[in-house]
Structure 1
């Protein structure tokens, strides 16, 4: 990490001398001492003289500025507690960084009484002006602005762009592999969820040209000799939801499984599921070079301004401002709220018949962050299901499934799984759209791979498992 010169004019020394300081300071490596100095200087607003910053430098800055309270005070107290346990020889830079991240993640996961209603409203109404969010959440404009600022700076809330597949002639599909030896991969594949166990399950989300649906089916059928079962489903955009029901300021996030069990017993009426919408065959594209660059920029950050797009794409200001406004007006890219609360790292996925979903979904709405969607079997359009995914407090996924299994009738078409790992990426329009032919590039041998299950599983991570599959 870049070692900055720190202007501590009119400030005490960031780390006290060994004779005066707490015992933990005698155990710090020189680079660990530099990290502590950075934290304190950022917190106190000291001046940093650096020629070049790096990723770790910027990470520390963002964590300190978005932390509620004094990160430095808690950090030094925890280090002292650890050293007082005895037998500590040295504390490295990596040890200090790991502790900082842990403390920061715990801090930003604890939401205030104004952030809870704001987040619930913001996830339902992405891209809406602050005054409207204030009105809908029952907060003042100032409270809303403060909540939005902290949640955005900490990364808890982002507004990204979602490709409007209907406008683009695309279709979002879910491919479910059961006990596979091979798994589909490639640039059209956006998300993968891995369920470990005796019979592993892999859920693959891909966005493909609707005109190529038949060719995709032929490709998937070729996997059936190497997997227990594989099915292909149209996947609706679905919607994310947020609830603060199981949060309190004292304990943070903690599922009340008895309450959840009692909510399940209330049941509900079977859901009537419409067909998953697909684009019409004649959906025109006709995007320019500037269009595809701007679309990709909006997908990464929907709130990107014209100036932001100029910086990231190199387009002229007039082109960036004009085409951005036109693409947003035509709803080629739609705003989508992404909520990431570090202490909600468990993922549970459920596949339900409409009858079973009616009994479960009202209870499911009380869970912290959820994604709800419809799927329709492409090979048998009469088969429709509800797909539910939830982000839960770490370690609570299996307990939730046990309650679901206890309270769900065995005759229902129902399955629930803890997601062990996953991957996520966005399909870059600039690389997949052929402007010369006004069509999406398609070559099964070039844009799809059959990777072994072990390779896909190894590349998946238990961190940042996708929640919103759209």
Structure 2
């Protein structure tokens, strides 16, 4: 036996407890042991003082305090299982944190019987009070309040704000690029989605000043040589929906493909699509710098207090409170519920003719989280389509696509794709609105970049892909 073999034998011996079971603690690095100590201490109601709280520490504290059940016990059980399999030399802090995040995502994705109806009602009416939501969801006020707190604490539900583009002189534009070598980016670009396949497709949602729409179209036309096809569409605000039909209290989220197939066969009437609303001019508004700062803060988080806004914008609480109420009362900022359930990791998007959409839209509304909107071709106003997107249980996206393709006649005008990656942001009003001239800033050379497709694709993530395109 070599010295290395002897060392390995000793290491294995010290990793075993007296009763012959693996002593997992000897396999943990000092920092990994510190993480376990933190979890145990916080679960038991104790506290650990740290000099500075970094992002990882803050995340860990948030996970432990919002976890339903005992995270520590589950961590110990899982670590013992892994060590028992053998061959493990060391478990690092990174390994422990990765396991904690996964267990946390499992935990928060499993919603209770009270959280499900509360979430559905909140998405339908995000500005409603807890009392109103409790009445509509048949919950007591206390039940609704607890559901709201947990959904907020875990990040499942967030009430953000949405710029009312109609009142702000902005067009919401959807640009679709096929096989692009270049992709537009810039402060007016809100969301970018990537569909990998043949051909690869990129969808870009941008807010464009209505008075500059023709300039933007010229910009789109200028990159046609860098793509096999590019089209631009007006995109309506649409609306998100939530359904618990495919949630089981024992198994969690599980898409019932047979039920979805049978719902598709019921069909429906052809939809009649109105024109996408044209925005008004911005001339009627005269925003101060404080107004624009509060607008940015409300888009990020609408349910924050005046104190939260004041802290982020460095204005007084009195001013923050007054301007918040004014922006909401004049419908400049509209409430929008944002839902992020970790187990619903797949994204599917479909563009359909009004005739085809009538057969699909009812069944689509049964999917866990969905978004419905309509689009109108900027260069051919008579061409209108329905845009549907959905968040599905991870791994089920392609199965849903297969069912759709099997059930929808090939003569119908539609396309359906699994979104591979994407990212989103928000146009900062404080940066892009010219208060002196009371108009949106516009300089194509400064506000838009044509970036290599491969560069932008690498920046996109497959997690938390935007669903609501408004």
Global fold match (TM > 0.5): yes
The ranges of structure 1 where at least 4 consecutive aligned residues each deviate by more than 3 angstroms after the TM superposition are 17-22
Asked whether the 8 Å contact 2:22–2:84 carries over to 1, the reply is: no
Work out the CA distance in 1 between the residues paired with 2:376 and 2:64. 46
Match of 2:407 in 1: 407
Match of 1:397 in 2: 397
CA shift, 1:45, in A, is 1.1
Match of 2:159 in 1: 159
CA shift, 1:423, in A, is 1.0
Match of 1:13 in 2: none
State the SS of the aligned residue for 2:161.
strand
Match of 1:92 in 2: 92
State the SS of the aligned residue for 1:461.
coil
Q: Matched residue pairs, number?
A: 454
Work out the CA distance in 2 between the residues paired with 1:154 and 1:18. 37
Work out the CA distance in 2 between the residues paired with 1:345 and 1:202. 19
CA shift, 1:325, in A, is 1.3
State the SS of the aligned residue for 1:59.
helix
Work out the CA distance in 2 between the residues paired with 1:343 and 1:349. 18
Match of 1:42 in 2: 42
What are the superposed Cα offsets for residues 241-275 of structure 1, whole Å, 9 maximum, x if unpaired? 00011110211111010000000000000011110
CA shift, 1:318, in A, is 2.3
State the SS of the aligned residue for 1:180.
coil
Note the 1:73-112 alignment, pairs <5 A. 73-112=73-112
What are the superposed Cα offsets for residues 200-221 of structure 1, whole Å, 9 maximum, x if unpaired? 0000000111111000000001
**Change over 3 Å in CA distance of 1:86–1:411 after alignment to 2:** same
In structure 2, stretches of 5+ residues that fail to align are 1-15
Asked whether the 8 Å contact 2:169–2:281 carries over to 1, the reply is: yes
Asked whether the 8 Å contact 1:348–1:417 carries over to 2, the reply is: yes
What are the superposed Cα offsets for residues 53-87 of structure 1, whole Å, 9 maximum, x if unpaired? 11111101111111111111111100000000111
CA shift, 1:310, in A, is 1.1
After superposition, the CA RMSD in angstroms is: 1.3
Match of 2:6 in 1: none
Work out the CA distance in 2 between the residues paired with 1:111 and 1:347. 20
Asked whether the 8 Å contact 2:282–2:439 carries over to 1, the reply is: no
Match of 2:257 in 1: 257
Work out the CA distance in 2 between the residues paired with 1:76 and 1:454. 42
Match of 2:8 in 1: none
Asked whether the 8 Å contact 1:168–1:284 carries over to 2, the reply is: no
Match of 1:321 in 2: 321
Asked whether the 8 Å contact 2:168–2:280 carries over to 1, the reply is: no
In structure 1, stretches of 5+ residues that fail to align are 1-16
State the SS of the aligned residue for 2:349.
strand
Q: TM-score, normalised by structure 2?
A: 0.95
Match of 2:358 in 1: 358
Note the 1:25-424 alignment, pairs <5 A. 25-281=25-281, 283-424=283-424
Work out the CA distance in 2 between the residues paired with 1:283 and 1:358. 39
What are the superposed Cα offsets for residues 180-237 of structure 1, whole Å, 9 maximum, x if unpaired? 1111111100100100012100000001111110000000011111211000000000
CA shift, 1:309, in A, is 1.1
Work out the CA distance in 2 between the residues paired with 1:449 and 1:264. 42
Match of 1:24 in 2: 24
CA shift, 1:329, in A, is 0.9
What are the superposed Cα offsets for residues 32-69 of structure 1, whole Å, 9 maximum, x if unpaired? 00001111111111022222211111101111111111
Work out the CA distance in 2 between the residues paired with 1:78 and 1:22. 12
Asked whether the 8 Å contact 2:22–2:83 carries over to 1, the reply is: no
Asked whether the 8 Å contact 2:31–2:92 carries over to 1, the reply is: yes
Asked whether the 8 Å contact 2:157–2:340 carries over to 1, the reply is: yes
State the SS of the aligned residue for 2:390.
strand
